[in-house]
Amino acid sequence: MLISIDQVLTKDEVRQFRQELDASDWNDGAATAGTLAKSVKRNQQVADGSALAVRLGQHILRRLAATPLFISAALPRTIYPPKFNRYADGGTYGAHVDSALMFLPGSSQQMRTDLSATLFLAEPEEYDGGELEVEGPFGVQAVKLGAGDMVLYPSTSLHRVTPVTRGARVASFFWIESLVQDEGERTLLFDLDQSIQQMTPLVAPDDMRLLQLTGVYHNLLRRWAKP
């Protein structure tokens, strides 16, 4: 399941992010890649743990906590602190799959990566190329969203970033461990929750159809969630 979420950040917030990120120091992104990914990764990243990355990442996390569509789709248990990358001058990231387990920064605690997220911080017209291509059961989906918009996709997916031939693609990226590990179960819960939300303003709060659907949702969540 690939889901686009509009306006996680407002345009004003994006402008503020970009002012600070564009003036920051960028390091070779290959330094943080795994053994196989290192050979296909050509981009730049803001240093993990830097004051700027931590502050901007915490702002993103606060916005996500107030974004119902993200909560519904991800059912987050743990979110890896957001990172920031930049692709320019032919920068690209070849086909790869994200690591299944990651240590949280500064901790011995591991998290499972169920979902990957890219939050775009550059408008599509600012750069050529730079599409996020995600392979799924129905073929390859190319994603290039507006600044402030975010895409969620399964971390199990083979994916890549095509070469940027003009301008710069700036983004934040991170991973989510969901309360519901199974992608099929998580998709069913998301579809059911979206149906309930669409139905809610159309019927009375005590309408039995709405109450029954809500009960089914929570009972399935109770069955499948692993806190």
How many distinct structural domains can be found in the chain? 2
Looking at residue 39, what is its pLDDT? Answer: 78
- Model pLDDT for residues 101-143, shown as the tens digit of each residue: 999 999 999 999 999 999 999 999 999 999 999 998 889 999 9
**Is there a single domain that holds both residue 151 and residue 78?**
yes
CA quadruple 220, 198, 8, 173: dihedral positive or negative? positive
* Residues placed in the known binding site for 2-oxoglutarate: 169
Distance from C-alpha of 224 to C-alpha of 227, rounded to nearest angstrom: 10
**Is there a single domain that holds both residue 23 and residue 75?**
yes
* Residues placed in the known binding site for Fe cation: 96, 98, 159
Looking at residue 138, what is its pLDDT? Answer: 86
Domain containing 145 — which CATH number? 2.60.120.620
CA quadruple 178, 104, 145, 197: dihedral positive or negative? positive
* Domain end (from 161, 178, 195): 178
**Is there a single domain that holds both residue 174 and residue 190?**
no
Looking at residue 37, what is its pLDDT? Answer: 67
* φ and ψ of 188, to 5 deg: -65, -40
Looking at residue 31, what is its pLDDT? Answer: 74
Going by the DSSP 8-state scheme, the letter that residue 82 receives in this structure is P
Determine whether 35 is exposed, middle or buried from the number of CB atoms within 10 Å of its CB (0-12, 13-18, 19+): exposed
Domain containing 189 — which CATH number? 4.10.860.20
Do the strands 132-136 and 164-166 form a parallel or antiparallel pair, or are they unpaired?
A: unpaired
Looking at residue 29, what is its pLDDT? Answer: 82
Looking at residue 137, what is its pLDDT? Answer: 87
Looking at residue 33, what is its pLDDT? Answer: 64
* Residues placed in the known binding site: 96, 98, 159, 169
**Is there a single domain that holds both residue 199 and residue 163?**
no
DSSP 126-178: G-EE--EEEEETTEEEEE-PPTT-EEEEETTS-EEE--EEESEEEEEEEEEEE
Low pLDDT (below 50) residues in the chain? none
Q: Which structural domain, as residue segments, surrounds residue 125?
A: 3-178
